[in-house]
């Protein structure tokens, strides 16, 4: 989607961090912006900033873990701006917990926001984009959607799923005029760690292990830099938006491990190429 001037961007989790960075970059590109966040006060503060630089923007209270709330976001957007062209499913939370200790409700907290948040966005907005034959969806995963390790098991489970969903979506809508990108940031200087702990349901057992070392997000790049990279991908139709190249060796190791296993399997059991996988 090359011409962004006057187009409408809906960004979830835009009251802070990367979502705010995307909102600022979208406004700078001339887009009208819907700042959606579970925290309406923060969404309003970002909206006021965007208006100060001359952009049209509205704040909408949205809980991405609720399908009804995301449907209401769509309705308010259409009522106010009449269309949607760019959807950034960005809202997300983090918990560092070893799987041997994690409460099932911690899993549910992360899956409901990080994975169902993206699913609700796609389910609700994709038909509009397909119908108008133009649009772009950006799903925020993480470099943790490409590589994994403790204590990030819960988080990377959700982010690997977002990468898989996005890869399939890219192929599904390739001929429908709808672009797809998956954002895989490394460390970005945001409120992710503090915010995620603050919003974690109070009912959860405080005794479980959530004090694993957290990523040092304060050492990360600026959210606006990420937002500008997202806008480049939207204009150019880029799929993987990987904000750091520090993880090249680990990504290489992971993929080499998979290919080595494939070669070892073929060497031991014979190649399956050209014959039915089902032995019957």
* Positions in the binding site for ligand NAD (CB under 6 A): 12-13, 15-19, 37-39, 42, 62-65, 90-94, 113, 140, 142, 185, 187-188, 190-192, 195, 199, 217, 220
Q: Give the whole-angstrom CA distance, residue 144 versus residue 149.
A: 8
The smaller minimum CB distance to ligand NAD, of residues 135 and 158, is found at 158
Q: Give the whole-angstrom CA distance, residue 37 versus residue 117.
A: 12
Strand pairing report for 32-37 and 86-89: unpaired
Side-chain-side CA neighbours of residue 44 (13 Å): 4
Question: Shortest distance, CB of residue 89 to ligand NAD, whole angstroms?
Answer: 8
Question: Shortest distance, CB of residue 192 to ligand NAD, whole angstroms?
Answer: 3
The smaller minimum CB distance to ligand NAD, of residues 2 and 213, is found at 213
The smaller minimum CB distance to ligand NAD, of residues 57 and 64, is found at 64
The smaller minimum CB distance to ligand NAD, of residues 187 and 250, is found at 187
CA distances to 93, 109, 120, 123, 163 from 116, in Å = 12, 10, 6, 10, 13
Catalytic residue chosen out of the listed positions 155, 240, 247, 269: 155
**Which H helix or E strand runs over 94?**
none
Question: Shortest distance, CB of residue 36 to ligand NAD, whole angstroms?
Answer: 7
Q: Give the whole-angstrom CA distance, residue 241 versus residue 166.
A: 12
- Helix, coil or strand: residue 135: strand
Q: Give the whole-angstrom CA distance, residue 237 versus residue 174.
A: 11
The smaller minimum CB distance to ligand NAD, of residues 130 and 242, is found at 242
The dihedral sign for the CA sequence 96, 101, 103, 107 = positive
Question: Shortest distance, CB of residue 53 to ligand NAD, whole angstroms?
Answer: 20
Question: Shortest distance, CB of residue 226 to ligand NAD, whole angstroms?
Answer: 8
The smaller minimum CB distance to ligand NAD, of residues 143 and 173, is found at 143
> Active-site residue 155, yes or no?
yes
Q: Give the whole-angstrom CA distance, residue 280 versus residue 7.
A: 55
Name the residue among 145, 156, 151, 239 with its Cα closest to residue 185. 145
User: Max CA-CA distance within the chain?
Assistant: 68
Which alpha helices (H) appear in the chain, and where do they start and end? 17-28, 40-52, 67-81, 104-110, 116-132, 153-173, 192-199, 223-236, 248-269
Question: Shortest distance, CB of residue 230 to ligand NAD, whole angstroms?
Answer: 11
Residue numbers annotated as active site: 155
């Amino acid at each position: 989607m090359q011409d962004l001037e006057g187009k409408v961007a809906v960004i979830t989790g835009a009251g802070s961090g990367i979502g705010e960075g995307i909102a600022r970059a979208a406004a700078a590109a001339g887009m009208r912006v819907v700042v959606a966040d579970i925290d309406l006060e923060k969404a309003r503060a970002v909206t006021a900033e965007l208006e100060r630089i001359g952009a049209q923007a509205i704040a909408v209270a949205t809980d991405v873990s609720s399908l009804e709330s995301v449907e209401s976001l769509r309705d308010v957007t259409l009522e106010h701006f009449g269309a949607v062209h760019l959807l950034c499913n960005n809202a997300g939370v983090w918990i560092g917990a070893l799987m041997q200790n994690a409460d099932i409700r911690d899993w549910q907290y992360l899956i409901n926001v990080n994975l169902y948040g993206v699913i609700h966005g796609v389910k609700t907005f994709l038909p509009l984009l397909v119908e108008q034959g133009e649009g772009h969806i950006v799903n925020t995963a993480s470099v943790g959607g490409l590589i994994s390790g403790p204590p990030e098991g819960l988080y990377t489970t959700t982010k690997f799923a977002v990468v898989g969903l996005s890869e399939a979506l890219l192929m599904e809508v390739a001929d429908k005029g709808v672009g797809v990108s998956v954002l895989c940031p490394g460390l970005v200087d945001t409120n992710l760690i503090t915010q995620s702990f603050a919003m974690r349901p109070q009912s959860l057992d405080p005794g479980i292990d959530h004090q694993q070392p957290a990523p040092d997000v304060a050492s990360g790049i600026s959210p606006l830099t990420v937002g500008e990279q997202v806008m480049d991908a939207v204009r150019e139709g880029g799929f993987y938006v990987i904000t750091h190249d520090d993880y090249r060796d680990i990504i290489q190791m992971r993929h080499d491990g998979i290919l080595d296993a494939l070669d070892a399997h073929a060497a031991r059991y014979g190649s399956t190429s050209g014959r039915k996988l089902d032995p019957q």
